[in-house]
Amino acid sequence: MAENRKSSISEASTLREIGAFWDTHDFTDFDSDAPDVKIEFASSIAIEPDLLSEIEDQASMRGVTVETLVNLWLQEKLVEQRALLPA
Protein backbone atom coordinates (compact mmCIF):
# COMPACT_ATOMS: atom_id res chain seq x y z
CA MET A 1 0.00 0.00 0.00
CA ALA A 2 1.33 3.43 -0.88
CA GLU A 3 2.79 5.43 1.95
CA ASN A 4 0.29 7.78 3.65
CA ARG A 5 -2.59 6.27 1.72
CA LYS A 6 -5.63 5.02 3.64
CA SER A 7 -8.22 2.42 2.79
CA SER A 8 -11.51 4.15 1.97
CA ILE A 9 -13.66 2.06 4.31
CA SER A 10 -11.38 0.95 7.13
CA GLU A 11 -9.24 4.10 7.01
CA ALA A 12 -6.31 1.77 7.68
CA SER A 13 -2.92 2.68 6.28
CA THR A 14 -1.29 -0.78 6.18
CA LEU A 15 -2.34 -4.14 4.82
CA ARG A 16 -2.10 -5.58 8.34
CA GLU A 17 -4.56 -2.93 9.64
CA ILE A 18 -6.91 -3.57 6.74
CA GLY A 19 -6.82 -7.30 7.49
CA ALA A 20 -7.51 -6.69 11.17
CA PHE A 21 -10.42 -4.40 10.28
CA TRP A 22 -12.08 -7.00 8.01
CA ASP A 23 -11.51 -9.73 10.61
CA THR A 24 -13.96 -7.86 12.83
CA HIS A 25 -16.33 -6.27 10.28
CA ASP A 26 -18.78 -7.56 7.69
CA PHE A 27 -18.74 -6.12 4.16
CA THR A 28 -22.54 -6.14 4.04
CA ASP A 29 -22.48 -3.38 6.64
CA PHE A 30 -20.78 -1.18 4.03
CA ASP A 31 -22.21 -2.42 0.73
CA SER A 32 -24.46 0.61 0.23
CA ASP A 33 -21.27 2.55 -0.56
CA ALA A 34 -20.04 -0.06 -3.03
CA PRO A 35 -20.88 0.29 -6.72
CA ASP A 36 -23.03 -2.39 -8.36
CA VAL A 37 -21.13 -4.66 -10.72
CA LYS A 38 -22.21 -7.06 -13.42
CA ILE A 39 -20.57 -10.45 -13.25
CA GLU A 40 -20.50 -12.79 -16.20
CA PHE A 41 -19.39 -16.39 -16.08
CA ALA A 42 -17.86 -18.27 -18.97
CA SER A 43 -18.30 -21.99 -19.38
CA SER A 44 -16.88 -24.51 -21.76
CA ILE A 45 -18.94 -27.43 -23.03
CA ALA A 46 -17.80 -30.01 -25.56
CA ILE A 47 -19.98 -30.03 -28.69
CA GLU A 48 -19.70 -32.55 -31.49
CA PRO A 49 -18.06 -30.92 -34.54
CA ASP A 50 -20.99 -31.67 -36.90
CA LEU A 51 -23.48 -30.24 -34.40
CA LEU A 52 -21.35 -27.12 -33.91
CA SER A 53 -21.18 -26.64 -37.65
CA GLU A 54 -24.98 -26.73 -37.90
CA ILE A 55 -25.32 -24.31 -35.00
CA GLU A 56 -22.83 -21.95 -36.66
CA ASP A 57 -24.87 -22.09 -39.88
CA GLN A 58 -28.10 -21.35 -38.00
CA ALA A 59 -26.49 -18.45 -36.11
CA SER A 60 -25.13 -17.01 -39.33
CA MET A 61 -28.55 -17.19 -41.01
CA ARG A 62 -30.07 -15.32 -38.04
CA GLY A 63 -27.27 -12.75 -37.87
CA VAL A 64 -26.32 -13.58 -34.27
CA THR A 65 -23.32 -15.14 -32.59
CA VAL A 66 -23.20 -18.83 -31.77
CA GLU A 67 -23.22 -17.92 -28.06
CA THR A 68 -26.37 -15.81 -28.45
CA LEU A 69 -28.20 -18.54 -30.37
CA VAL A 70 -27.21 -21.29 -27.93
CA ASN A 71 -28.30 -19.17 -24.96
CA LEU A 72 -31.62 -18.38 -26.64
CA TRP A 73 -32.28 -22.03 -27.43
CA LEU A 74 -31.34 -23.13 -23.92
CA GLN A 75 -33.67 -20.53 -22.41
CA GLU A 76 -36.51 -21.65 -24.67
CA LYS A 77 -35.94 -25.30 -23.77
CA LEU A 78 -35.89 -24.53 -20.04
CA VAL A 79 -39.21 -22.65 -20.29
CA GLU A 80 -40.64 -25.58 -22.23
CA GLN A 81 -39.43 -28.09 -19.63
CA ARG A 82 -40.72 -26.04 -16.69
CA ALA A 83 -44.17 -26.05 -18.27
CA LEU A 84 -44.12 -29.86 -18.24
CA LEU A 85 -43.37 -30.12 -14.51
CA PRO A 86 -46.24 -30.63 -12.08
CA ALA A 87 -47.12 -27.53 -10.03
DSSP string, 27-74: GGGTGGGSPP------------HHHHHHHHHHHHHHTS-HHHHHHHHH
What's the pLDDT at 3?
56
Q: What is the pLDDT of residues 2-44, one digit of tens each?
A: 556 666 788 888 889 889 999 999 888 877 767 788 888 888 9
Q: Name 30's Cβ contacts closer than 8 Å, sequence gap at least 6.
A: 9
What's the pLDDT at 4?
60
The lowest-confidence range among 22-26, 33-37, 58-62, 66-70 is: 33-37
Record the pTM: 0.54
